[in-house]
Amino acid sequence: MASLLDEACDFLECCRAEGGRALVHCVAGRSRSAAVVTAYVMRCKRCSLAEAFALVKERRPSVSPNEGFWRQLEGEERRLFGDCIGPLAGSQPAAPRVAGADPRGTGQLHNEVAE
């Protein structure tokens, strides 16, 4: 997934730089898309995994990356910053499973995150 994260984040940054928008979605809109957006937030905001995930979760409460994606996000954090840098370094912030999707949760996450 690391190479796909690079490609997705580059695409999102290109959209932002050109003043555009992008919708990031997967089958359920909870795991894969959440991982991509969390990785993008870590890169563009230069923030920890915990901080990036908190921001994404605030905008779309139903997100819950699966364990495999979470491990890859931890790897991405180490790759970007050399180690886990957040206040919850070495541990996963709470990512409870939330029943049902939040249809209002997509909002304008990309624009608000990138600014």
- 26 is known as an active-site residue: yes
Q: What residues contact 17, with CB distance under 8 A and at least 6 apart?
A: none
Residue 63: CB atoms within 10 Å: 24
Catalytic pick from 26, 44, 47, 84?
Answer: 26
Q: Which helix (H) or strand (E) holds 51?
A: helix 49-59
Residues labelled as active-site residues: 26
